[in-house]
Chain A
Amino acid sequence: MAAFASRTVVVKNPQGLHLRPAELLAKLSQQYPCKIEILHNNERVDAKSIFAVVTLVAMQGTELCFEANGDNAETALEAIAKLFDEQFGEAE
């Protein structure tokens, strides 16, 4: 049975989810075998694609719901939540 995990994270860094954080998020997601999607404003986008992540226009304070399906789903979302908490290394 494939694992399923979901988790809501908040964009904390002042510049929002711009290109650099989107790249870090996509690269991190690509390290996991599970499918990882972000649900926001009635859209469902692939967390492994920078092009898709950037379309979210997630400013500081935005809540994003992540869903992972497959192997290491829980671990993947744990790592992603940490990335958001650490503000992609952009904390001022």
Chain B
Amino acid sequence: MKFSDFVCYEAINANVTATTKEAVIREMVQSLLNVGKIPGGEVEGILKAIMKREELGSTGIGRGVAVPHTKHPSVNKLIGTVAISKQGIDFESLDGEKVQLLFLLISPPDRPGDHLRALENISRQLRDDTFCKSLRMAKSPEEVKKLLDEADAHQHTH
């Protein structure tokens, strides 16, 4: 799976202003609503589901990366968006580091395979320090899109 298979480019935010975990997740869900990827009436439900998952254990998996996510019946395919925080957000990450790169995923309840393949893509690509650094420094959604496209083009296939 590639970034282009699930990232909604129009919803990318290269400079989130939110400073808390819940606020940044809300901003990301809102951006998916703004581009028509989720129905308006579902925003609160989706947000609540994502926060509930965070209570089980932070999705801040280290390296300044977090993957907040949930399954939700309001989507019929896996969708996601990317947000970058310049100042870093306290996410109760496993390594205690602040989070700067966020990948939010919403998947249909019956598609665990797609979720796993998106996670694979994210973790495989973000093991590359140069890629992480470039993303952190990206100044616009266009620049983020360009980096994701480049990563897709260089993806190892398995």
Contact = CB atoms under 8 A, between A and B. Distances in A.
B67 interface: yes
Interface string B38-73: 000000000000000000110101110001010000
B116 to A, nearest CB: 5
**Top 5 closest pairs, chain A to chain B, by CB:** A51-B123, A54-B123, A15-B112, A57-B116, A57-B120
Interface footprint category on A = 20 to 34
Interface of B: 56-57, 59, 61-63, 67, 69, 94, 112-113, 115-117, 119-120, 122-124, 126-127, 158
A23 B116 contact: no
A54 B59 CA distance: 13
Main secondary structure of the interface of A (DSSP, over half): loop
Contact of B112 (A14, A23, A43): A14
Contacts of B67: 19
B36 to A, nearest CB: 27
Contact of B61 (A15, A19, A43): A19
Interface of A: 14-20, 23, 27, 41, 43, 50-52, 54-60
Contact of B127 (A15, A51, A59, A60): A51
Nearest to B121: A55
A20 B55 CA distance: 12
Contacts of A19: 59, 61, 67, 69, 119
30 contacts: A14-B112, A15-B112, A15-B115, A16-B113, A16-B116, A18-B112, A18-B119, A19-B61, A23-B61, A43-B158, A50-B61, A50-B62, A50-B123, A51-B62, A51-B126, A51-B127, A52-B123, A54-B116, A54-B120, A54-B123, A55-B120, A55-B123, A55-B124, A56-B120, A57-B116, A57-B117, A57-B119, A58-B116, A59-B113, A59-B116
Contacts of A60: 112
A52 to B, nearest CB: 8
